[in-house]
Amino acid sequence: MTFQTSLRAALLGLAAMAAAPAAMADQLADVKAAGKIVTATDMHYAPFDMLTNGTYEGMTKDLFDEVSKEIGAEPVYQDIPWTAELPGLEVKKFDIVIAPVTITPERLERYTFTLPIADATVALVKSANSDMKEPKDIAGKTVGVQQGTAQFRALEAFGKELGGVTIKEYGTTDEAYADLATGRLDAVAGSLPNLTYLVKNRPESFAMFEPANFGPPTYFAWVLRKGDDSASFATAINDALLKMTDDGRVKAIQEKWLGAYTELPREVPTN
């Protein structure tokens, strides 16, 4: 064997060793080996995620409890500010973001989404004594929305169509609702199920616009890192959600928290 042949063989061996960990990476296997799924969510997003007397509950928890059982690992729930969730996912601080994240074309390029878990169509809520009726009535008004969300972008675009809306951003929707209740805002934009839940539980303070929603239909889902290593994990979650849809668990959980059942796509929307 010549020196050049030996060098070539050594380099090929090193290349194979370097490639091996990437080829062997499998997030589902890692999760099962650890026996836990480390999650991130914002526990201030009723009815999906809430802290009630210090106890985490909501539609997201009920759904993910069942998904975790199907996968065979214990969920670890963490309360993380929304703006830190996707960046934290990218640097592997947790396995998955289970805060309801709106599926958008831009996010699809950067992350792996699970099947939808709920409707996310953008809507508007007002104070109970407001004389505004239709979404277009927010023209020239001050509207609150959670920062860094798809709802913010939808509101921004809708405001431009109307000729101008003053948008005030908040760290949580609870903060926006509080300002709406005290008259500091004219309306709040958010997803339809969140606002429906708010009005159902606080009709003395809030009311929906008629119609409440604006913009195209959108969906909430959970988010994983992009890449081949997350593919098996995403498949396991989607298989669990489909099984739960077919056996009625998804319907029961939706009706418990939203008061009604909405049939969801059985594939991840691509636009």
Q: What are the pLDDT digits (tens) for 88-127?
A: 999 999 999 999 999 999 999 999 999 999 999 999 999 9
Q: Is the pLDDT of residue 39 over 60?
A: yes
Place 215 in a pLDDT band, splitting at 50, 70 and 90. Answer: confident
19 pLDDT band (50/70/90 cuts)? Answer: very low
DSSP class of residue 104 equals: -
Mean pLDDT on 12-32:
64
Check residue 80 and give its pLDDT. 96
Distance CA 262, CA 245 (A): 11
Beta strands in the chain (DSSP E): 36-40, 44-45, 49-52, 55-57, 74-76, 96-102, 111-113, 118-119, 122-127, 142-146, 166-170, 187-191, 206-213, 219-225
pLDDT value, residue 260 = 86
pLDDT at 23 over 60: no
- In this prediction, residue 25 carries a pLDDT of 75
- Give yes or no for residue 84 having a pLDDT over 50: yes
pTM over 0.95: no
Give me the half-sphere count of Cα atoms (radius 13 Å) on the Cβ side of residue 73.
23
245 pLDDT above the threshold of 80: yes
Look at residue 21 and tell me whether its pLDDT is greater than 60: no
pLDDT confidence of residue 8: 53
Q: Looking at the predicted structure, is the pLDDT value of residue 188 above 90?
A: yes
Mean pLDDT confidence for 150-165? 95
From residue 73, how far is each of 33, 64, 93, 236 by CA, in Å? 9, 11, 18, 12
pLDDT category at 216 given cuts 50, 70, 90 is confident
Mean pLDDT of 76-95: 96
Q: How far apart are CA 145 and CA 168, in angstroms?
A: 6
Has residue 2 got a pLDDT over 80? no
pLDDT at 133 over 90: yes
Mean pLDDT of the chain: 91
- 3-state SS of the chain: helix, strand, coil percent to 5? 45, 25, 30
- Ordered structural domains, the chain, with CATH: 16-119+219-258 (3.40.190.10), 122-213 (3.40.190.10)
